[in-house]
Homo-oligomer: A and B are copies of this chain.
Amino acid sequence: MLYSLKYTSSNKYKIMAGNNKNTEEIILAAAKKVFMQKGKAGARMQKIAEEAGINKSLLHYYFRSKDKLFETVFRDTFKDFMPKIAEFMSSDLPLFEKIKYFIESYIDMLNKNPYIFSFVLGELNTNPENLVEIMDRVTGIISEDYLGKFVEQIMEGIKDEEIIQLDARDLIINMIALSVFPFLARPIILGVFFQNDLDLYNKFLERRKKEVPQFIINSIRKK
């Protein structure tokens, strides 16, 4: 539950009747924005408070500490995305359809949260112990279980000589790499290849939703 992390000694029902829920949402949106931009270490509670238009103390009232606030933001961010992907990848749809959908979903999700992966990978490097611990509590992010069915289909594809001999792990990593990288290196790519023209860059991303699956299928299909 989204609001289960509130820390207070007062009566639960009384609180829920107040306007705190709305305040929490505002805080979380503000915190997400600042954390994504500045990273955990670089983010300032003062900045988050300003962004939310409230007092700094309120952040502590609602989330007790910076760490707790961070964890809540982190969990929230992946809450919706992962189950959707997991469901699709476990379905009975054909291999190539899954590849297309997987990449499209990733690019769509990244369009909505351009900084999400920079954020995750940044934190992952600066504080691996902590983040892995958090991720363990966020269903499915670190688990490869939801890819089981997909891996099976790859094996079959190889056996049936539909696709070339390959390691399923390479394929999956390549799929994610090609989807995610343009967002990770966004500022560089934007500058070097598109002269900071955001419109061109967005068209480029949109085009990639088709190009990347084609690129991959081209490479692995046996002809």
Contacts and interface: CB of A to CB of B under 8 A. Distances in A.
Contact of A215 (B127, B174, B181): B174
Contacts of A109: none
Given A121-B118, A169-B204, A192-B144, A126 B37 contact: yes
Contacts of A220: 218
Interface string A159-190: 00000100001100110111011101101110
Contact of A132 (B40, B126, B187, B215): B187
Interface residues of A, number: 49
Interface in A27-69: 36-42
Interface of A: 36-42, 115, 118-119, 121-122, 124-128, 132, 142-144, 164, 169-170, 173-174, 176-178, 180-182, 184-185, 187-189, 191-193, 204, 208, 211, 215-216, 218-220, 223
